[in-house]
Amino acid sequence: MLDLQADRVMSLTEWENRWQENQIGFHQPTVHTMLKTHLEKVLSGRTGVRFFFPLCGKAVDMKWLADLGHIVVGVEISEKAIRQFFEENNMTFVEEPVSSIPGAKLFKNLEKNISLYKCDLFSFSSSVGGQFGAIWDRGSLVAINPKDRKRYAALIMSLMGSDCSYLLDTLLYNPELYKGPPFFVPDVEVHNLFGSSCDLELLQSVDALTDRTRAWGLDSLTEKVHLITLKAEDNSHS
């Protein structure tokens, strides 16, 4: 089944074009229910946590967490998405180059502690953004080209501080019916990518079939959320 989508590639230009043409059906106007449901577990009592949003789009979850006093760092290739995020949430921002990543720009709202990098995720690293206490991965692993997943997992793990709670949202459906993105990511794939260095816990699994996803040709769709933490013996490296 995995091989059905293994060679599918979306280029960065194609993603930017989707934003230009407003083909952004993945964007949700309200805070993601699964993030809300599991936030307490992710925080486990911590305040002012540094949250990373890989492939952030203009997710309103970023504002919600910042309003709760957390620090938010996102990465997104579409400058239009980043500008819309700040404009739609009535936030001012400053814009600056990122000396270590050619062509990248950093958009920051200072009072809310939100920093969004306009660049390819694969140019980002802990030397640019430091490490994080939490990661919210919705529409990110499922949007990355399947051939880049190992590289993606290695990058994500390098961004995890020793106490990091990585909340990962995956989708399951029959890949014979739809080519993606979003791509289907079965649990075995999550285990292959993260299982050797991390402990994995499946927190929730819900039926997520909607009119929108039925229109893709799907007959079933399951959305799962996993909590991923570094195994204790790996903590010494971070």
User: In this chain, which stretch among 138-146, 153-161, 170-178, 184-192 interacts with ligand SAH, using CB under 6 A?
Assistant: 138-146
Q: How far is the CB of 81 from ligand SAH (least distance, A)?
A: 5
Peptide bond into 175 cis (omega under 30): no
Contact 53, 63 (CB under 8 A): no
Give the separation between CA 128 and CA 51, rounded to whole angstroms: 15
CB of 234 to ligand SAH, least distance (A): 25
CB of 138 to ligand SAH, least distance (A): 4
Residue listed under structure tokens 């989708």: 171
Nearest alpha carbon to residue 114 among 79, 82, 137 = 82
Closest by CA to 77, choosing from 144, 127, 31, is 144
198-237 positions binding ligand SAH, by CB under 6 A: none
DSSP string spanning 14-79? HHHHHHHTT--TT--SS--HHHHHHHHHHHTT--S-EEEETT-TT-THHHHHHHTT-EEEEEES-H
Query: Cβ of residue 136: shortest distance to ligand SAH, in angstroms?
Result: 8
Looking at the Cβ atoms of 34 and 49, the one nearer to ligand SAH is: 34
75 makes contact with ligand SAH (CB under 6 A): yes
Per-residue contact string for residues 27-46; x = within reach of ligand SAH by CB under 6 A: x-------------------
Q: Would you count residue 81 as binding ligand SAH (CB under 6 A)?
A: yes
Does position 15 interact with ligand SAH (CB under 6 A)? The reply is yes
Q: Which stretch binds ligand SAH (CB under 6 A): 41-49, 53-61, 65-73, 86-94?
A: 53-61
- Between CA 212 and CA 229 the distance in angstroms is 33
Instruction: Find the binder of ligand SAH among 56, 157, 159, 171 (CB under 6 A).
Output: 56
Q: Is 146 in the site for ligand SAH (CB under 6 A)?
A: no
CA 197-142-113 angle, to 5 degrees, is 80
What residues have CB less than 8 Å from 176, skipping those under 6 apart?
Answer: 4
The reply on whether position 135 binds ligand SAH by CB under 6 A is: no
Q: Which residues contact 238 (CB under 8 A, 6 or more apart)?
A: 131, 160, 161, 162, 230
76 binds ligand SAH (CB under 6 A): yes
Taking CB under 6 A as the criterion, the residue among 2, 8, 26, 162 binding ligand SAH is 26
The residues of the shown chain that bind ligand SAH, judged by CB under 6 A, are: 12, 15, 26-27, 55-57, 59, 75-78, 81, 120-122, 138-140, 143
